[in-house]
A = this chain, B = another copy of it.
């Protein structure tokens, strides 16, 4: 497209450079998509805001090659300590349990790192891709074409956005404007999303009665678990401790209306509670332990929890909203930033495939389908969890109103799969097909592919399976080939190879299977015997693509993949979506079902 001055075109315009927007723009740029990202703020977040990273989010960041830095900089939470009222009026520890209870979590801990540092990880990774955040830039108008043909044409530019470049040195009237013609727009512009409002999308749900104060400080204290995550349930109010990087911690304290609500207006008046007042509330909860008033507080805030989900996550699959723009909830289970980045992670590969012309526009409908359902589940969970946390602790044996500590940390464990992000389960849809679930009984179709150590056949080097599934916008075809050293099984694998290759070649971008798919084979033979050439050449684009399910050379790790995954000696094929979620499993005999699966959303090349 050629344009007059102050007009330009882009494949995807991302509005907002918080975690959701950065993940989206970075992921798209990494997939080779032409993308721009604009942000109102002149600078990154310096302190406060979201800072909890779930185990699943660490896995996702690892799939983009970003976890190494996160883990170097972040604080790790391995343990949660529970405190309840003791016999002497103050609280006492009733348990120390694992912070993460999801058994398959590859990273069995939460990480905390302030939002600005997380934003930096993306910003630095974007830079070599030639992408920078355009700051002090806001959309002021947006028009979406009503032409059905244009809306259905992935190569069309049906969204027209006028951007205003705010220059702090110029007077407001001088602000420069630019018109952008975009194929797609993603609004990741926060709870007060301009994109959402301009689409007229409503937030459904309600404000709760829960009011919380949050305080970041470096504590001087005799509280023995100050470096563990703590749930302190005292007769004098509830309090949570979240350790942060360095020596800092974050305190969450529950406040009452009388503390913070202005009786005249009925609204929260943040000036009624400064950091010292929030600390005072925490002190009552921590008694008999003490915490000194620090020389300075790092950050504090007060808020009422809203539990709301947007009624739609897109307009015609051309303008999307992601992150806080489509869901708000309590921060206590450390979900916010994770849900936001997961929205983008879900959307990125779908946009990339559609823009490459390998997938049909209909693929984009699965974004709202999958992520809105998740957001609703998140609100339901938040409702239960917040209510439980807000109830008084059980004060004596016959107190049936109060929450016992067994009940409390029982609930904590039950919610573990959810709070860790590990248990996210996308329902059957065009891209999730559990028909042949029995072919791999312990790989849940719709959930993320679990971690597993494998040995590379050619050199016996151990690899984490998840590291073989990078977020590169390609589907991973895992051929569990059985014992390839047995001639009968090898013959079965040869037959599968021919059939499967034929199907994959139909959908390969640019005519090459490798454009859309990465095929890996996993033999159940022994490392002493298996050679990479045991696997048919059609399933092996390189010697490094063949693996063995066996313990490593020193017996320290690996093995039992077939058993862990519930795959029998006859083998099975697992299709992992580009975002790491299992889309399909099928037995060797069901290659035609795999063809039907892909045909539902991928575009077959025209027959020669």
Contact = CB atoms under 8 A, between A and B. Distances in A.
A108 B554 contact: yes
Given A96-B528, A531-B224, A77 B108 contact: no
Contact of A98 (B79, B97, B225, B553): B553
A78 B458 contact: no
B227 A98 contact: no
A406 interface: no
A597 to B, nearest CB: 34
A98 B462 CA distance: 13
B108 A459 contact: no
Interface in A511-534: 527-528, 531-533
B461 A78 contact: yes
A207 to B, nearest CB: 35
Interface string A541-561: 001000000001110100000
A76 B228 contact: no
Interface in A441-477: 458-462
A255 B247 CA distance: 62
B461 A543 contact: no
Nearest to A102: B554
Contact of A78 (B79, B228, B462, B531): B462
Contact of A543 (B97, B100, B227): B227
Contacts of A462: 78
A102 to B, nearest CB: 10
A243 interface: yes
B553 A79 contact: yes
A459 B553 contact: no
Looking at chain A's contact residues, the main secondary structure is loop
Contacts of A97: 553
A99 interface: yes
A313 interface: no
A78 B553 contact: yes
Chain multiplicity (copies): 2
A96 B554 CA distance: 12
Best-buried of A532, A543, A553 by chain B (most CB within 10 Å): A553
Nearest to A528: B96
Interface in A43-102: 68, 76-79, 96-100
A507 interface: no
Contacts of A552: 78, 108
B460 A556 contact: no
Contacts of A76: 459, 461
A109 interface: yes
Interface in A207-224: 222, 224
Contacts of A222: 533
Contacts of A226: 458
B99 A553 contact: yes
A228 B226 CA distance: 49
A100 B461 CA distance: 12
A4 to B, nearest CB: 46
Contacts of A228: 458-460
Contacts of A554: 98, 100, 103, 108
Contacts of A227: 458-459, 532, 543
B459 A96 contact: no
Ranked 7 nearest A-B pairs via Cβ? A227-B458, A98-B553, A227-B459, A79-B460, A78-B460, A224-B531, A76-B461
6 contacts: A79-B553, A99-B553, A108-B556, A222-B533, A227-B532, A228-B458
Interface of A: 68, 76-79, 96-100, 103, 108-109, 222, 224-228, 243, 247, 458-462, 527-528, 531-533, 543, 552-554, 556
